[in-house]
């Protein structure tokens, strides 16, 4: 009897020790293989600038995904502060403390290869999002790298269409001097950005294809920022005044900055005769309110929830050994490594 009790006691101790070892074990069990995971999946999200309105909304939606998957996934966010050297330092530190998945919103898209080279040995999925790598072949060189973004030319085309529709519906409203030429100011995101250049070129190209003549009064790079756009437009109003018939901004933050400058000078406050057409991209909540009030002509919606959800889904699929697009409604473009999310026109 005593022997039996001793055997049971020993077995009990072995069971307890084994259980403790399992509980503290740092092993990562992939769900695709056994259906179990012993700790939350860690995802590092390196963002080009927390101050960017659209990207901050993507961040908020990733935080919401974490809340909905409590105990299953943890996001760690890092701010590049709009400076590639700062972001490089962040990435260098993460190499030695790498997570299960890396999501990157680059300051300078030319360093894509460097990011892949740093993390390739970790064999983790790398999801670039929002700011597009210059060459798709760089992503292909790894096999676990993907891009989630949009077609910048599509955003530009939709912007141009919004202006064409206004011109065709009520030309006198937009063509204030009635000379048959759209005189505009372009607020570009940043010099050297492919996305900014394509948004700019395709917006004007769409207007010209509709048979509307255009004259660019000025092109200013406002670095996607509201305050800089406001400063630029305030200065341009002194220079061109009533000759400005439209302001085309590569994003809503710059469009809102333009409207703030216009309103400070008595424009875009409800008087149709003192309203300059302003269009943006992103359809942020603030821009939508301005559109509803008639202070802003329109925007092109880029859904931050969709950007967050798809980037997360692809990262998890690759981490768990599934096809990258498993369970999603999306398809790769011709590169086979990039997903293009659709834009939607937003007007009153």
How many other β-carbons are positioned within 10 Å of the β-carbon of residue 179? Answer: 11
**Positions of E strands within 116-239:** 126-129, 145-149, 181-188, 213-221
- Architecture of the 153-301 domain: 3-Layer(aba) Sandwich (3.40)
> Average pLDDT by consecutive 10-residue portion of the chain (348 residues)?
47 42 35 54 97 95 97 97 96 91 95 94 95 90 95 96 98 96 96 90 98 98 96 97 96 98 97 96 97 98 96 98 96 95 95
The whole-number pLDDT of residue 97 equals 84
The whole-number pLDDT of residue 274 equals 96
What is the 8-class DSSP label of residue 35?
Answer: S
Distance separating alpha carbons of residues 225 and 211, to the nearest angstrom: 32
In sequence order, which residues have a C-beta less than 8 Å from that of residue 17 and are 6 or more positions away?
A: none
The whole-number pLDDT of residue 1 equals 44
Query: Is 123 in contact with 144 (CB distance < 8 Å)?
Result: yes
Residue 117 sits at φ, ψ, to 5 deg, of -60, -35
The whole-number pLDDT of residue 233 equals 98
The whole-number pLDDT of residue 8 equals 46
What is the 8-class DSSP label of residue 272?
Answer: G
Query: Is 58 in contact with 308 (CB distance < 8 Å)?
Result: yes
The whole-number pLDDT of residue 190 equals 87
CATH number of the domain located at residue range(s) 40-150+310-347 in this protein:
3.40.50.2300
Indicate the angle between helix axes 152-169 and 194-209, nearest 10 degrees.
Answer: 30
Q: Which of 75, 145, 151 is nearest to 112 (CA)?
A: 145
Domain boundaries of the chain, sorted by first residue: 1-30, 40-150+310-347, 153-301
Q: Which residue has the tokens 């919401």?
A: 64
SS3 of residue 321 by DSSP: coil
Same fold, 40-150+310-347 and 153-301: yes
In angstroms, the Cα distances linking 222 to 95, 227, 299 are 33, 8, 18
């Amino acid at each position: 009897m005593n022997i039996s009790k001793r055997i049971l006691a020993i077995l009990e101790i072995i069971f307890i020790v084994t259980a403790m070892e399992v509980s503290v074990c740092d092993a990562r069990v992939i769900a695709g293989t056994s259906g179990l995971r012993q700790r939350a999946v860690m995802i590092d999200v390196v963002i080009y600038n927390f101050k960017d309105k659209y990207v901050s909304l993507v961040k908020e939606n990733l935080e919401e995904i974490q809340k909905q998957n409590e105990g299953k996934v943890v996001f760690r966010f890092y701010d590049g502060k709009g400076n590639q050297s700062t972001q490089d330092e962040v990435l260098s530190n993460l190499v030695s403390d790498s997570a299960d998945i890396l999501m990157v919103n680059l300051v300078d898209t030319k360093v894509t290869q460097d990011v892949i080279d740093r993390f390739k040995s970790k064999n983790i999925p790398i999801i670039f999002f929002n700011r597009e790598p210059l060459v798709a072949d760089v992503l292909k060189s790894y096999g676990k790298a993907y891009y989630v973004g949009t077609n910048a030319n599509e955003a530009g085309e939709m912007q141009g269409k919004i202006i064409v529709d206004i011109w065709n519906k009520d030309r006198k409203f937009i063509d204030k001097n009635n000379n048959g030429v759209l005189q505009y100011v372009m607020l570009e995101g940043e010099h050297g950005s492919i996305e900014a250049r394509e948004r700019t070129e395709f917006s004007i190209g769409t207007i010209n294809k509709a048979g509307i003549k255009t004259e660019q009064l000025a092109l200013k790079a406002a670095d996607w920022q509201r305050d800089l756009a406001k400063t630029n437009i305030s200065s341009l109003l002194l220079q061109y005044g009533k000759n400005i018939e439209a302001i085309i901004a590569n994003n809503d933050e710059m469009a809102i900055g333009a409207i703030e400058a216009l309103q400070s000078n008595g424009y875009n406050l409800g008087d149709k005769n003192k309203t300059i057409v302003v269009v943006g991209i992103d359809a942020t909540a603030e821009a939508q309110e301005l559109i509803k009030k008639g202070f802003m002509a329109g925007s092109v919606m880029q859904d931050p929830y969709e950007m967050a959800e798809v980037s997360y889904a692809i990262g998890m699929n690759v981490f768990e050994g599934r096809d990258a697009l498993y369970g999603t409604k999306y398809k790769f473009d011709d590169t086979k490594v990039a997903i293009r999310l659709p834009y939607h026109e937003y007007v009153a």
